[in-house]
Chains A and B, each alone.
Chain A
């Protein structure tokens, strides 16, 4: 799983804290994604960046703020979270279509977030 790395692996934060999750991909991809994984629920696609521009925002609350400074790095800035935001946050990367018709996403190990 060295292709996509995420830090930190575990995070505990209070509702008034501000923290950031980091994702880095070493696969030469140009698209990156944030997903939320909660127990017994399907993965929820949060944000998609292609060529460093946000192309998808699935009605995510503004307390989650993504940032993609370049094609290898993706951040998720967190502030004033709620306990129901506790989940596993997964980052993925793929090759955005440039003549291709499909892509496979490669995932990082995730950050386990607990909001108290």
Chain B
């Protein structure tokens, strides 16, 4: 079985400050990890993914995420948040042996204030 947890329903941060959105996962095999962002009335947009290789993954819009196998985490980070980063962020995981069977977290609402 696979699962993913986003422990925070909402993250509030001031513009210009660092932003972190947390994600932990559980899979039986090797994890494939993804982050997506959803703006109001829009579908999910792909940000970045970890499949293998370097634990630090860089993605769109200045976001990055670090894969930590010992802590089974894949936290999303941005050094300096923008008001336009305010959106709903989803972490997703699938086991390397389970093609197509993505497990999404419940989402974390990010609010960036000016």
Contacts and interface: CB of A to CB of B under 8 A. Distances in A.
Interface string A75-106: 00000000000000010101011000111111
Given A42-B107, A102-B32, A110 B43 contact: yes
Interface residues of A, number: 30
B100 A55 contact: yes
Interface of B: 4, 9, 32, 34, 36, 41-46, 49, 51, 90, 92, 96, 99-107
Contacts of A31: 100
Give the top 8 A-B pairs by smallest Cβ distance, nearest first.
A107-B43, A43-B104, A107-B44, A48-B100, A109-B43, A102-B51, A42-B106, A42-B104
A45 B99 CA distance: 13
Contacts of B96: 101
Contact of A104 (B4, B34, B99, B101): B34
A40 B106 contact: yes
B101 A106 contact: no
28 contacts: A1-B43, A1-B45, A6-B43, A40-B9, A41-B106, A42-B103, A42-B104, A42-B105, A42-B107, A43-B90, A43-B104, A45-B102, A45-B103, A48-B100, A48-B101, A90-B43, A90-B44, A92-B44, A96-B99, A101-B51, A102-B32, A105-B34, A105-B44, A107-B43, A108-B43, A109-B41, A109-B42, A110-B43
